[in-house]
Structure formats: structure tokens, C-alpha cells
Amino acid sequence: MESNMYEKVLITKKFSSLIFASLLILWAELTWAAASAWRPIKAIEVVVPGGAGGGIDSTARAIQRVFQEKKLLETPFTIVNKPGGSASVGLTYLSQLPSDGHHIAMGSGALLTNHITGRSALHTSDFTPLVQLFSESISFAVRAESSIKSGRDLLARLKVDPGSVRIGLPSVASTNHIACALVLKSLGVDPKTLKTVIFNSSAAGITALLGGHIELVASPAANTISHIQAGTLRVVAISSEKRLGGAFAEVLTLKELGSNVVIGAFRSAIGPKGMSREAVAYWERLFSSAVQTKEWQDYLTRQSLENNFMDSKDSAIFLSNQYKELYEALSDLGLARTSMP
């Protein structure tokens, strides 16, 4: 009698446990389904930490066109330009916005270098990485009439007398600046001996080069294409992993020239700190769809950009590794003002 009663109790407990486990699974599935269906319910604000017409602005508007033309996004996509402080104004603004998935920004190397140089207290950990979009190689250009005829001529001159080459840059601690520092270091020359002239944009530096006021510009590759085609500038080296096509098909990479330097200005999408996993997944899927379109691929080709799409997880790893590399380069230039986190 007692044995039968024990068996009934045991069966009842097992049955109850089975029901409880089933309910847990059902709850988890319903929760996941609801979460994975997250999508914007209001207008998207895209922060561009730079002025209209600049490189970061161009990226945002190219993405906007793809989203709209391919009807990938059902809600309005509004670009808000926040220039100033080498992107620190725009990044500070983003950090103060709600992390509800309706606010994102275009990111660049300034996200890292501003913290390293002490320009901003904001670190990558204060944002949510969404995706990496592409890398923009740095071109080293001289006037068509320059005595520097090739990349080997340039490296030889920098090795012997780096001060004899005035280099135009858009800003201190920019990717362009860091690329020049890495080249000197690869030649066994102190990066601090670089002779730089800072302009308010790469375009202004190119104008100064054409006017004979400087000997070299280190500029995003796309900025030099029209001048190459016009025959007014000669690009003698490029910082890409392998040769670019189009106007740069015959330009040797720094690696080919014996300077083991590969660097590019990255473009990414980031959000405020604390975005939900579901919102991040939504933006990963959206950007992944956008970058596979012919329109986006054509944009990359026209601008001589290198596709390096990464999801949120890989983007976080990439940014961490980039921080370490840029920290070392800026330390060599005497510009690092913070300790490695």
C-alpha cells in the first residue's frame, strides 16, 4: 500500500517537473520570437560626427540611399551632422542618447584616437559596436613635376632627411598622420622627426600641394583620383594590403616597397552603450543586407574602398586590436596622453 502511494507521488512529481520544463521551453521560445522580431517603431537618427560633405557624411548618405532604394528600412532615416572636436562633439552627443535602437552613428578612427590623445574621455566601451563597413587606404601623392618619381624615391628621401619632405595632413593623430609615422618607424627613423603641415581637410592639403607649398600629401585614396586622371598628381605609394584597382592599379603598396605598413581609415556603425542584443541583431541583419547590394558594391569601387564587413562581435575585437596598434603608434609620436586601459 505504502509502495503504491510512493509510486503515485513519484509519478506526480515527474509529471509536474515535465510540465514545468515544457512551460519554461515555451516561455523561452515565445520570448526569443518576440525579441527577434524587434524593429524600429519610430524614425532612426544617424549621427555623423563631422560636417556635411565630409568622408563620414558620404558614408552615411550612401547607406541611406541603399536603405531607401532597396526598401530595407521601413521608418525614416534622418542624418544629423555634429561636427567639431575631431568627432568628439558627435560622439559625446551619441553617448547621451537613449540605447533603444533608434539612434546610431557612423564611426571612424577618431573613436579610438580621441581617447588615446586625451581629447575625449569616451572609450570604445562607452558605445555598442554594430558593424564594420570598410577600410579606406591612405595614398601618398606628389605633384606631377616633383623630383620624387616613385615610392622608392620617397622612402629613400625620408630615410636620409625626413625633415626635407613637408607632408600635408588633415589633422594631428589622424590615420593619415599615423600612416606616415609607421612608415618612418619601418625605416628606422624616429617618427617625431616628421615635418607635417596641418590643414582643415585633405582637399586643402591637396590644394597646397598643387601650389608647391608642400612636397607630399597623405590622403584617403579617393581624394586623389580626379587629380591622377587630370595628370596633376602622382601617387607613389598606397597603404593597402594589396594593390587597388582603377586609377591605382600601377601604384605599389608600401609592403611591396619594403616598408611593412598596412593601414586604413575604417568606417563603422556604432550605437549608445547598453543596446539590447535584439536591437544589435536587427542592425547587423540590415547592414549585412545593404552591403551585399550592387549599389553598395559600386560605391566601394568608385571610392576605392576595401570591403571588410564584420558583425558586432568581430567589430568589438577589431576595435580592441586597433586601439592597441594606434596607441603604440601615437606613443611613438609623443601624442598618447592616457594609459592603456
- Beta pairing class for 44-48 and 103-107: parallel
Query: Rounded to 10 degrees, what is the CA torsion of 9, 11, 17, 19?
Result: -120
CB count, 10 Å around CB of 201?
A: 16
Which pLDDT does position 36 carry in this prediction?
55
Amino acid letter, residue 315: S
Tens of pLDDT, residue by residue, the chain (341 residues): 445 544 444 445 445 544 544 444 444 344 444 445 899 999 999 999 999 988 999 999 999 999 999 999 999 999 999 999 999 999 999 999 999 999 999 999 999 999 999 999 999 999 999 999 999 999 999 999 999 999 999 999 999 999 999 999 999 999 999 999 999 999 999 999 999 999 988 899 999 999 999 999 999 999 999 999 999 999 999 999 999 999 999 999 999 999 999 999 999 999 999 999 999 999 999 999 999 999 999 999 999 999 999 999 999 999 999 999 999 999 999 999 988 77
Integer Cα distance of 183 and 238 in angstroms: 11
The Cα–Cα gap between 5 and 9 comes to 6
SS3 47: strand
Residue 235 · residue 244 · CB < 8 Å: no
Pairing of strands 166-169, 44-48: unpaired
SS3 139: strand
Instruction: Please report, in angstroms and rounded to a whole number, the separation of the first and last CA atoms in the chain.
Output: 69
Whole-model pTM: value is 0.86
Q: Is 280 helix (H, G, I), strand (E, B) or coil?
A: helix
Q: How far is CA 80 from CA 48, 89, 122, 269, in A?
A: 6, 12, 20, 14
| Cα separation, 85 vs 49, whole angstroms | 9
Report d(CA 237, CA 164) in Å as an integer.
Answer: 18
Q: Any idea what DSSP says for residue 146? A: -
Which residue carries 556635411 as its cell? 52
